[in-house]
A and B are shown apart, each in its own frame.
Chain A
Amino acid sequence: DIQMTQSPSTLSASVGDRVTITCRASQSISSWLAWYQQKPGKAPKLLIYKASSLESGVPSRFSGSESGTEFTLTISSLQPDDFATYYCQQYSSYSGTFGQGTKVDIK
């Protein structure tokens, strides 16, 4: 199975900060990488698919990029609504492995 290593596990930031979260795949997944946002007690929400494609309705401050097997989610200017936990997922092959998550909290 493909392993997804996400870092950091926790990130403290302030409103307006630029935030970067990284996910590394244990082998090539091409661009089959998605990012999700989850708030407490809520369902995960798709933000980015195919590494850098923004899901409809998601603010443009969210962006995704890739370099080989390393993938990055960037929030250009953190907003109060963005404090949440973020997960990556590879959907190149079964079993569609998720990263362990990054909790973004208020500094």
Chain B
Amino acid sequence: EVQLVESGGGLVQPGGSLRLSCAASGFTFSSYWMSWVRQTPGKGLEWVANIKQDGSEKYYVDSVKGRFTISRDNAKNSLYLQMNSLRVEDTAVYFCARGGVRDQLLCGFWGLGTRVTVSS
């Protein structure tokens, strides 16, 4: 059974940092693109970042470039999102999503998400 379990969310002050993790199981993690997608009541679903199977390519939505870093550890079947210089507008539920083997942005399976709240 495919599973994606996110962790690391919480309450942080503006300008602070958080590191999200996503533990994958039930599939060959190293064969898939992986993404982070966030959801807010106001803006809906927003793709945030993704990473190629071997980590050699990474892409980000403009609003997080220079602040967020996506990474993966295929030996640990884990995906990460390092979030620095957090802003109030980064408040959201963050989902880890499995992409395709070739479809970089398709989200074929999602975790339950972890909530990030940026507030003073």
Question: B108 within 8 Å of A by Cβ?
Answer: yes
Contact A43 B110 (CB under 8 A): yes
Contact B61 A36 (CB under 8 A): no
Contact B112 A97 (CB under 8 A): no
9-residue interface stretch from B9-17, B41-49, B66-74: B41-49
Distance in angstroms between the alpha carbons of A49 and B106 in the assembled complex: 8
Contact with A along B34-74 (1 / 0, CB 8 A): 01000000001111000000000001011000000000000
Contact A42 B61 (CB under 8 A): no
A98-B46, A100-B44 as given contacts; A46 in contact with B108, CB under 8 Å: yes
Question: B23 within 8 Å of A by Cβ?
Answer: no
In whole Å, how far is B24's beta carbon from the nearest beta carbon of chain A? 14
In whole Å, how far is B104's beta carbon from the nearest beta carbon of chain A? 7
Question: B29 within 8 Å of A by Cβ?
Answer: no
Contact B112 A98 (CB under 8 A): no
Contact A98 B95 (CB under 8 A): no
B interface residues, tally (CB under 8 Å): 20
Contact B107 A89 (CB under 8 A): yes
Question: B27 within 8 Å of A by Cβ?
Answer: no
The one of A42, A43, A96, A100 that contacts B105, using a Cβ cutoff of 8 Å: A96
The one of B59, B106, B109, B113 that contacts A34, using a Cβ cutoff of 8 Å: B106
Residue of A nearest to B59 (CB): A94
Contact A43 B106 (CB under 8 A): no
In whole Å, how far is A26's beta carbon from the nearest beta carbon of chain B? 16
A43-B112, A94-B59, A95-B61 as given contacts; A36 in contact with B107, CB under 8 Å: yes
In whole Å, how far is B92's beta carbon from the nearest beta carbon of chain A? 13
Tell me the A residues contacting B by CB distance below 8 Å. 32, 34, 36, 42-46, 49, 55, 87, 89, 91, 94-101
Tell me the B residues contacting A by CB distance below 8 Å. 35, 44-47, 59, 61-62, 95, 103-113
10 further interface pairs, Cβ-Cβ under 8 Å (given A49-B108, A91-B106):
A34-B106, A43-B95, A43-B111, A43-B113, A44-B107, A44-B110, A45-B110, A49-B103, A96-B35, A98-B44
